[in-house]
Amino acid sequence: MKLQQQQQQQQQQPSAYASSIAKSMTIEEMRALHRQALSEADAKQMELRLVLASRYRELVGSSDEVQHMHGRAKELDDLVQALPQLFEKILLSATSDNANTDHEEEKEKEETALETSDEQVILRVRHDLASMPRIIHRSLDKKDVHGAATGLIGLFNLIASQTNQFPLVNKLAALDGGSASALVPAKSVAHDPLVYAQLKMVYLHVQTLPARTVQIARSLLLQSAGSIPHNGGAHLSASALSSLDLLDIHKTKSSRAVKLIDLYYDSKAKLIQGLLNRLTSPSNTKSGTGAGENDDVSTRSFVSKVNAAAPDTATTAEEILSRIVLILQHDIILFPYQIFVLRKFSCHGNNADAVKVIMDSLPEFNVQVLQSKASHFLAAHLPLIRTKVKSVLKSIAGTTASALGQIRQSLYDKTDGVDCMKSLDANGVCTWDEAVAAIIDVRIVTHGTSLSQGTDAPRIAPSSSTSQQSQSSNRFSLWSALFSNTFSSLVHSLLTSAFHSVHTRVVSTLRNSLANAPPLTSILPHEAYRNTLRIATELDAALLKVSDDAHELLVHAEEREESERRLRQSLYVQTCEIMGRLLSELRRMLLITSNADDTDGPATATKELIVGRLCHLMKFRLTSLATLLDPNSSPAVLASSMSTAAQGSGMAVGGGIGGVIGGKSGMITLLELRSAFDIADDDDDGLISFDEAMEAMSSAFSGTQFHGAAMVRDTLLLHSSSSSTATNSTTSASKGATGMGESSSSGNSSPQNVTLSELALLSARGLRHDVSGPESALGTIQRSLDDIVSTCFGKWAKVVLGPQTVGMQTSMSEFVETARSISEAEWKRRFDLAGNDIDGTKSVGHVSPHVVGYILSVASILNRSVCPSDALPPVPNTKYAVAMGISCDSGGFESIPNMMRTIRWALLVETLTRLSVSLEEKTDDESEAALVNIGQFCTPAIIQLLSDVMFIKDMFFRRNCHGFPTEVAKMVDYDDVEEMEISKVEASKVILEEMVNASSSQLAECTILNMDDTYHEIEETHQMSAMACDLYVSSLFGDDVSASAQSMLTGDGHLAPSQLGASSDSPALSHNPLPSSRRFVLLPIQSERSLNELQLRSKYGMDKKKQAEAREDTTAASAVSSGFGLLSSMFKKN
pLDDT at 5: 61
Question: What is the mean pLDDT of the segment spanning 884-893?
Answer: 75
DSSP string for 142-197: TT-HHHHHHHHHHHHHHHHHH----HHHHHHHHS--SGGGGGS-SS--TTSHHHHH
Contact indicator for 943, 934 with CB cutoff of 8 Å: no
Q: What is the percent of the chain where pLDDT is above 90?
A: 5
Checking if the pLDDT of 126 tops 50, the result is yes
Confidence of residue 1077 (pLDDT cuts 50, 70, 90): very low
Query: Where does the pLDDT of residue 1075 fall: very low under 50, low under 70, confident under 90, or very high at 90 and above?
Result: very low
pLDDT bracket for residue 837 (50, 70, 90): very low
Q: How confident is the model at residue 143 (pLDDT cuts 50, 70, 90)?
A: confident
pLDDT tens column, 628-669: 888 888 887 766 665 555 455 444 444 444 444 444 457 888
Mean pLDDT of 188-200: 76
How confident is the model at residue 923, as a pLDDT? 58
Residue 527 has pLDDT above 70, yes or no: yes
pLDDT of 1111 reads: 60
Q: What angle do CA 264, 270, 273 make, to 5 degrees?
A: 140
Length of the chain in terms of residues written: 1134
pLDDT, tens only, 1020-1059 = 888 888 888 888 888 888 887 665 555 555 444 444 444 4
Q: Give pLDDT, residue 451.
A: 45
Burial of 873 (0-12, 13-18, 19+ CB in 10 A): middle
Over the stretch 406-433, which tens digit does the pLDDT of each residue have?
777 788 888 888 888 888 888 788 888 8
What stretch of H or E contains 990?
A: helix 984-1004
Q: Which of 292, 174, 278, 296 has the alpha carbon at shortest distance from 240?
A: 296
CB 299, CB 275: distance < 8 Å: yes
Give the model confidence (pLDDT) of 49-74 as tens digits.
777 776 776 777 788 888 888 888 88
Instruction: Out of 90-104, 497-511, 670-684, 1034-1048, pick the least confident.
Output: 90-104
Angle between helices 849-865 and 939-954 (to 10 degrees): 20
Rounded Cα–Cα distance for residues 814 and 674 (Å): 51
- Going from the C-alpha of 794 to that of each of 587, 909, 952, the distances in angstroms are 14, 8, 20
Q: Which of 218-227, 542-551, 923-932 has the lowest mean pLDDT?
A: 923-932
Q: Select from 639, 661, 641, 664 the least CA-distant residue to 652.
A: 661
The pLDDT of 880-892, averaged and rounded, is 78
Q: What is the pLDDT of residues 706-716, one digit of tens each?
A: 888 888 887 77
> Percentage of the chain with pLDDT > 70?
68
The pLDDT, as a whole number, for residue 185 is 56
Over the stretch 604-618, which tens digit does the pLDDT of each residue have?
Answer: 888 888 999 999 999
- Tell me how far apart the alpha carbons of residues 727 and 164 are, in angstroms, rounded to a whole number: 88
Residue that wins the pLDDT comparison between 460 and 793: 793
Q: Kindly report, residue by residue over 260-294, the tens digit of the pLDDT.
A: 999 999 999 999 988 888 876 544 444 444 444 44
Weakest-pLDDT range from 85-94, 95-104, 195-204: 95-104
Which of 72-86, 106-120, 261-275 shows the lowest mean pLDDT across its residues? 106-120
Considering only residues 1086 and 105, tell me which one the structure prediction assigns the higher pLDDT. Answer: 105
Instruction: Note the Cα 591 to chain centre separation in Å.
Output: 30
The winner for highest mean pLDDT among 91-105, 628-642, 1061-1075 is 628-642
Q: What is the distance between the alpha carbons of residues 871 and 428, in angstroms, rounded to a whole number?
A: 77
Whether the predicted pLDDT of 369 surpasses 70: yes
CB-CB contact of 358 with 240 (8 Å)? no
pLDDT digits (tens, 9 = 90+) for 3-24: 566 556 655 666 777 788 878 8
- What is the Cα–Cα distance from 278 to 1051, expressed in whole angstroms? 91
CB neighbours of 582 closer than 8 A, spacing ≥ 6?
503, 506, 507
DSSP class per residue in 330-386: IIIIIHHIIIIII-----TT--HHHHHHHHHTS----HHHHHHHHHHHHHHHHHHHH
Q: Dump pLDDT digits (tens) for 431-462.
A: 888 888 888 888 888 764 444 433 333 333 33
- pLDDT for residue 961: 87
Angle formed by the axes of helices 939-954 and 802-821, nearest 10°: 150
| CA distance linking residue 1017 with residue 1011, whole number of Å | 10
pTM: 0.63
Task: State the sign of the Cα–Cα–Cα–Cα dihedral 876, 877, 881, 887.
Answer: positive
Per-residue confidence band for 931, with pLDDT thresholds at 50, 70 and 90: very low
CB of 954 closer than 8 Å to CB of 943: no
pLDDT digits 0-9 by tens, 991-1008: 888 888 888 888 877 767
